[in-house]
Homo-oligomer: A and B are copies of this chain.
Amino acid sequence: MPHTWLNFPLYKGMWQADDATLWKHGVVRIYDTFLTTDTLLNTDRFTQKILLDKKAPRGAISSSEFHYYIGKKLLKEAPNPQTSILAQAAKFNIPVYTSSPGDSTYGMDLAAYNKATNKKFRRRGEIDLHINPNIDVKETAAIVMAAKENGAIILGGGSPKNFYMQTQPFLWECLGIERGGHDYFIQITMDSPQWGGLSGATPQEAVSWGKINPNELQNTVVVYADVTLATPILFSYAIEKAKPRKQKKLYLKRKKLVYNLEKESKRKPVDWVPEELYKKHQKQ
């Protein structure tokens, strides 16, 4: 009976609510949105159910594989999969990454899940199911290395921003592969540059890191607005104006792309710190 487990409602609440009262009544608040602790617990139950499935992934995997697995399950079991980002991403083979795999309901469920499964799997010498961030770092960089044109559309900021922007320094700084920086950049954010954090850093600052191509700054823009206000305007415009493009199905190609990345980086003269680049910069 998946209907009772999924499609959990969110309610329009108010930020002035008394939170001790909410807690007593099993209501959870996200600023002015309300949900129930049932929703949290049922989400945990659904996640447990699908992770205990025999065909669930095992061992150290990328977050793209983890999210793809959940998306596929939601396509089958969720009553309204068209409203789920993970379901739609899985349907169109779009890889979904997270930069903070332990910091979420899924992160907690994965850690708790292993309590349930450790015994069985450890007996078979298996390691617990978990996200290996190394694979994510390599997959995202491999996608960037393979693309003709690169860029980022960032809704909000925080750790996900750098996680994708660092693909360029990872290529040049760690693997000796020059891709020249991203070619376009759109960020919708309420963060500001003056706090010095990466979240509010300008595209200009990103140029100094080789994250954005210095010749493409005219293709960068920061929209200082709440994403819930600005994103519908931007996306409506894009859907209205842009012709449909051939789907890239990057999820299916990601292992091949990482293979190419590792091959390319092996052809570089030195181990993995790019000695030539190092010398070049020392001379300056």
Contact = CB atoms under 8 A, between A and B. Distances in A.
Interface of A: 15-17, 19-20, 22-23, 25-33, 36-38, 40-41, 44-45, 48, 60, 99-104, 107-116, 127-128, 130-138, 141, 156, 158-160, 162-163, 166, 169-170, 173-175, 190-197, 199, 201, 204-210, 214, 217, 222, 224-226, 228-230, 262, 265-266, 271-274, 277-278, 281-282, 284
Given A205-B30, A271-B116, A38 B281 contact: yes
A44 B226 contact: no
7 contacts: A23-B214, A29-B208, A44-B173, A101-B133, A113-B272, A192-B194, A194-B224
Copies of chain A in the complex:
4
Return the 8 tightest CB-CB contacts between A and B, nearest first.
A102-B133, A111-B137, A20-B214, A112-B174, A31-B196, A19-B207, A100-B100, A29-B208
Contacts of A194: 15, 31, 192, 222, 224
Contact of A130 (B26, B60, B169): B60
A134 B272 contact: no
A44 to B, nearest CB: 5
A156 B15 CA distance: 21
A10 to B, nearest CB: 12
Given A60-B60, A107-B137, 5 more contacts: A22-B208, A25-B284, A30-B196, A60-B127, A111-B135
Which of A33, A103, A116, A193 has the most B CB atoms < 10 Å from its CB?
A: A103
